């Protein structure tokens, strides 16, 4: 059975005080949603603090180096993340692809580093606005998935979830409609089955990200192939994030 996942990507936001306040507020949630996997992705400098608090939320890193260790000033290795008790990592986010030139080679090295260090991966894929105009945009997405799967073993998928994040919907207030999202998620699951096998495809969580908020979450989460959400802006407001979690819990 695949898991439902709700994740908050804080991106490069919040001072320490603000981050503490947000964390305290979301940790007050009641625990009737135990069947959900709940993750926050704070900036690196706050990871250890929230890991030590051992709350309801798993803690993940927004990025990881493709290198194992050495003279790479400013980088954070998968082994360092593991050593502080970090459990999850985001790889392939469109903001990393676009602003930091992370291409397929780098991303597949990052995936290997994360898996070697037993981190669980949320691997992001998504099409740009221009690619969406292309009739064949579903195959653009399955190619992105293929680049992930071709270097992996079937067992690796126990530690991998997919986030579909249409680039045109991230931080723009534009959301893909439930029909658009279901079309993509269902086609990704079929593509995943071809690349791996039926069990792996059925057991891999595929979550949606891109202006998911309290207004649209219910209809997005009602789609059969949507297994949760990767929330950006709305995860910075405790009340909204908790409401979105409750909507996933009731879906």
* Active site members: 93, 165
Q: List interacting residues with ligand 13P (CB under 6 A).
A: 9, 93, 165, 170-171, 209-212, 230-234
Per the CB < 8 A criterion, the answer to whether 2 and 199 are in contact is no
String of DSSP letters for 137-198: HHHHHHHHHHHHHTT--GGGGGGEEEEE--GGGSSSS----HHHHHHHHHHHHHHHHHHS-H
- Nearest approach, Cβ of 154 to ligand 13P (angstroms)? 27
Nearer to ligand 13P, 96 or 189 (CB): 96
- What minimum distance in Å lies between the beta carbon of 197 and ligand 13P? 28
Other beta carbons within 10 angstroms of residue 18's beta carbon come to 12
Around 245, how many Cα atoms within 13 Å sit in the side-chain half-sphere?
Answer: 27
C-alpha span between 244 and 228 (Å, rounded): 10
CB nearer to ligand 13P: give 220 or 231: 231
Nearest distance from C-beta of residue 193 to ligand 13P, angstroms: 25
Work out how close the CB of 92 gets to ligand 13P at its nearest, in angstroms, rounded to a whole number: 11
Choice between 176 and 191, CB closer to ligand 13P: 176
**Comparison of 209 and 228: residue with beta carbon closer to ligand 13P:** 209
Give the C-alpha separation, 118 to 108, whole Å. Answer: 15
The residue of the chain with the least Cβ separation from ligand 13P equals: 232
Q: How far apart are the first and last CA of the chain?
A: 16
């Amino acid at each position: 059975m695949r898991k439902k996942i709700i994740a908050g990507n804080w991106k490069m936001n919040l001072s320490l005080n603000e981050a503490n306040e947000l964390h305290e507020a979301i940790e007050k949630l009641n625990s009737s949603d135990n069947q959900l996997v709940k993750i926050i992705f704070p900036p690196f400098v706050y990871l250890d603090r929230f890991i030590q608090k051992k709350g309801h939320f798993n803690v993940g890193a927004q990025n990881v180096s493709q290198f194992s260790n050495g003279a790479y000033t400013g980088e954070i290795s998968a082994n360092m993340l593991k050593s502080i008790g970090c459990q999850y990592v985001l790889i392939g986010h469109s903001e990393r692809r676009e602003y930091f030139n992370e291409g397929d080679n780098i991303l597949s090295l990052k995936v290997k580093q994360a898996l070697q260090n037993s981190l669980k991966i949320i691997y992001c894929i998504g099409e740009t606005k221009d690619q969406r105009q292309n009739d064949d945009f579903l195959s653009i997405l399955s190619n992105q998935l293929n680049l992930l799967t071709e270097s992996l073993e079937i067992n690796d998928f126990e530690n991998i979830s997919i986030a579909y994040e249409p680039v045109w919907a991230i931080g723009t207030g534009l959301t893909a409609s439930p029909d658009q999202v279901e079309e993509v998620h269902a086609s990704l699951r079929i593509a995943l089955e071809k690349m791996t096998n039926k069990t792996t495809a059925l057991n891999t969580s595929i979550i949606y990200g891109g202006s998911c908020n309290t207004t649209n979450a219910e209809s997005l989460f009602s789609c059969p192939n949507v297994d949760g959400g990767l929330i950006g802006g709305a995860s910075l407001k405790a009340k909204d994030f908790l409401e979105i979690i409750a909507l996933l819990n009731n879906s």
